[in-house]
Amino acid sequence: MTERAGPLAGLRVVEVGTMISAGTVGRLLADFGADVVKVEHPKAGDHLRRFGPESNDAGIWWKYLARNKRSVTLNLSTEEGSVVFEDLVAEADVLVENFRPGTLERWNVGWDHLSTVNPDLVMLRLSGFGQTGPYSERPGFGTLAEAMSGFAYLNGFPDREPLLPPSGLADGIAAMYSTFAVMFALYHRDVNGGGGQYIDTSLIEPIFSILGPQPLRYQQLDEVEERAGNRSTSSAPRNVYETKDDRYVAISASSQPIAMRLFDAIDRPDLKDDPRFETNEKRLENVEELDAIIQDWMDDHDRETILERFEEYETTIAPIYNVADIVEDDHYRARDAVVEVPDDDLGDALVQGVVPKFSETPGEITHLGPSLGEHNDEVYAEMLGYDTETLADLESAGAI
């Protein structure tokens, strides 16, 4: 295997699980140099391979989330497979799994056993509702977390039903929390002289935690925040506005100086002294009138003119982009936020770049998602030292 670059070069990760949350953790670690061995069932593989749109019989989600990883096949439910799994874990720094709680234990490869195989192991356990609690054994998906976390209740317009996000938001947020949790655990192990430990991440708690002080507001003020559409309950103006050329811009004037400059930008300096709009509290009370004034001005100007005008007055504004806009945007390109990666199935494939940026040890994308079991020989022979006869026996037993 070619040596990986990046700040996590030398870190060995075994990822066993399916779909988005565990796959995102593995992708983030692999982007920054970790050697991530993706373990998949010999016949089915990760369900992510067949999730969503495909091109040339290759799953788009798979190509993205499995980038930089090595794929091996292994049937953990067989006795031979569990032994191989133990050998993999013995060589690993980190194990990432997102099976329903109790699944690995049924296969005799749960934490209690694996921690004896590798006392220094950091094991991340991702699940819908966590390893403990009344709901722990329920199957969990991001949609359920988006519903039960309070996100969907807050998202959307007051006169419409709660609105779910269009993609795996809860999975992605849980994955980011889990990735820095893994690094915290490694710091404790490697810097503070601690040992291994397991991390319990549910899908519902991370997304709940980013919604602001909802419990505090409920307890202290007896308030349940309601849907406000594109408006904010904390500052005004904050909304989406349609331009003369049938496009959209977003405005957030969350500080007093910005709001005052906005009034200049829309040729209404008189509003700065208008008692309805002179403070943020007053603007929130009169937000309907304020939005109507801003929209009237937008109706007379195309988006490019509006963006130039607001930039001139140093007022916060952004165009509403779709992915085509993003791909063509010079700023995204200049920061390598969108990059082309050669792939055997897709050709020059356009994907999100590695973020964040490191000045001395940047991450990289070496390849997109591999074929099923592409690295069996490389991992089992080179990492674990299995000979040809052993590999043949494992294959005939249905273990790999």
Enumerate the active-site residues: 171
Distance CA 10, CA 3 (A): 8
> Please, are residues 32 and 355 in contact by the beta-carbon 8 Å criterion?
no
Transcribe 169-215 into DSSP letters: HHHHHHHHHHHHHHHHHHHHHHTS----EEEEEESHHHHHHTS-SHH
Q: How many CA atoms lie within 13 A of 4 on its CB side?
A: 26
Residues 6+ apart with CB under 8 A from 298: 241, 242, 243, 244, 249, 306
Assigned token pair, 233: 């309950």
Q: Both tokens of residue 171?
A: 């999975």
Give the integer Cα–Cα distance in Å for 253 and 291. 12
Sequence-distant (≥ 6) Cβ neighbours of residue 145 within 8 angstroms: 128, 170, 171, 174, 202, 203, 204, 207
- Euclidean distance between CA atoms 334 and 346, whole angstroms: 23
Q: Among 127, 133, 132, 161, which residue's Cα sits nearest to residue 147?
A: 161
Residue type, 233: T
Helix (H, G, I), strand (E, B) or coil at 388: helix
Q: Are 336 and 355 spatial neighbours (Cβ–Cβ below 8 Å)?
A: no
Nearest Cα neighbor of 48 from 76, 32, 26, 31 is 26
How far apart (Å, rounded) are the C-alpha atoms in residues 326 and 28? 21
| Cα 392 from Cα 242, distance rounded (Å) | 64
